Amino acid sequence: MDHFLDWRDFAGVQAEKFFKATLWNGEHLMVGLNCLEPGQSQAVHAHQAADKFYLVLAGQGNFTIGDASRNAEMGTLVIAPAGIAHGVKNSGAERLSLLVAIAPAMK
């Protein structure tokens, strides 16, 4: 496997639904890239037995975590502990790119 990846090489667009790429699916830890075009969203959902975080790499998103909603931009870490509902909508005018880490990894 290649241990050095540039997330920008994995960016993409999907018209029907936001774009997802897996960067690494390890034994314990999964890391991926989510790209949401303006107006696209990820429905609020929860992983009952997995912790997750997003890191905003580019663009602007409105995140829901539990009962809270907030806009976040590049450099913000958004934390979704196991069992906590979470989702995001691209609230800006450019592509929203998110690094997403989940553990345990989903196989």
- Check binding of 31 to a second copy (CB under 8 A): yes
d(CA 50, CA 102): 6
Cα–Cα distances in Å, from 34 out to 67, 88, 95, 98, 107?
Answer: 22, 11, 10, 5, 18
Site residues for a second copy, 86-105, by CB under 8 A, read: 99, 101-105
3-state secondary structure of 8: helix
When the beta carbons of 17 and 43 are compared against a second copy, the nearer one is 43
Amino acid in position 18 = F
Q: Which of 81, 85, 87, 92 binds a second copy (CB under 8 A)?
A: 81
Cβ(80)–Cβ(51) below 8 Å: yes
Stretch that binds a second copy, among 12-20, 35-43, 66-74, 87-95 (CB under 8 A): 66-74
Applying CB under 8 A, which residues contact a second copy?
Answer: 1, 3-8, 23-24, 26-29, 31, 49-53, 55, 57, 63, 65-66, 68, 70, 72, 75-82, 84, 99, 101-105
